[in-house]
Amino acid sequence: MKSIIMSLLFIAALGVGGFFSYGWYRRSFAENEKTVPAKSPYVAFGRGRIDVDGGIVKLSASKDGVVKEVLVEEGQKVKKGQVLCRMDDIKERLDMTYSRSEYELAMKRLSPLKISLEAALREQERYRKLVQCGVISEQKWDSTTDSAKRIAEEINVAKAQANVALARLRQTEYDVELKTIRAPANGKILRCDSRPGYGISTLNVTVLFLFIPDEPYIARVEIEEKFIKDVKVGAAAEIIPDSDEAKCYTGKVVKIGSYLGPKRQFLDDPQEKNDVRTAECILSVDEKNLILGQRVLVKFKKPQAKPAQR
């Protein structure tokens, strides 16, 4: 009986030892797979996506309202400042008309005051000569001087009122302009999510257009901390789309981030570590067949040795 128990315990010990040995072997194998072999032509690997320099811009309105007309379509090329859509702006235009009338009225009030001041100054000059000759009293002279000063102050007040009216007019003109959505730069409309009659909210920002500027394509890649020291600006790289691993495009490192942050591109692969620190790397891409947002694998090549000088 004791021999049977000892045999069972021995078999159990072998099983436990084998289980832990297998786990250690798998971890070691996985870690070895993630390191770059010494004879590999690559110094690092990273995953990323295709983007455009400046990124995709989400265009939205600065004021609440209702879309009145849309002047562009998806895929259309646009110029900087081109009108993309207009919102209903009847109220804003009425306010602008009212403010313009107020400003014009304030300016017209200045004309009679200026005429009165010119007359008061002429009368003051005449009285100055008369008071020197003793024809009129000093009191009459003081009254004329005070009248000219009062009219001058009234002109200053009228000018201030005109400036206030002008500022109000500029504000209403700006409110009207906010009802017009324009292209921020030369580029292309990727997507149009606005139609006449659509309501727009600035509380929960309503995206009207997805816009890409006319800038070169780039690849945004996350490099793990252990690879950062091996990747240099100017290094060549191979860019392989996840959707078609048979294709390979060339790229060059143009910028390496100086900040380590948490990994942002979480993958579905259970063997992929997501709790690692990464830095963003920007690569120039010459191939236009790549699609914005496409996920890619980037292989960073070793720098080529310079030929020996003779």
Q: Enter the pTM of the model.
A: 0.65
pLDDT at 34: 46
Do residues 205 and 74 share a domain?
yes
H or E, element range at 261: strand 261-262
Do residues 199 and 154 share a domain?
no
Q: What tokens were used for 32?
A: 């070895």
Would you tell me the crossing angle of helices 90-133 and 138-178 to the nearest 10 degrees?
170
Do residues 140 and 254 share a domain?
no
Distance of CA 283 to the CA centre of its chain: 20
Query: What is d(CA 96, CA 168) in angstroms, rounded to the nearest whole number?
Result: 8
Q: Are 159 and 34 in contact (CB under 8 A)?
A: no
Do residues 114 and 254 share a domain?
no
pLDDT at 27: 52
Domain span at residue 79?
A: 57-88+180-213
226: amino acid identity, one letter = K
pLDDT at 36: 46
Do residues 84 and 200 share a domain?
yes
Do the domain assignments include residue 249? Answer: yes
11: amino acid identity, one letter = I
Q: What tokens were used for 288?
A: 């236009």
Taking only the tens of pLDDT, the chain with its 310 residues reads 556 666 655 565 555 555 555 454 445 444 444 444 557 788 888 889 998 888 889 999 988 899 999 999 999 999 999 999 999 999 999 999 999 999 999 999 888 888 888 888 887 777 776 766 666 666 776 777 888 888 888 889 999 999 999 999 999 999 999 999 999 999 999 999 889 998 888 788 889 999 999 888 889 998 888 888 888 888 888 898 988 888 888 889 998 888 888 777 545 555 556 667 888 899 998 766 788 888 999 998 887 655 444 4
Do residues 287 and 171 share a domain?
no
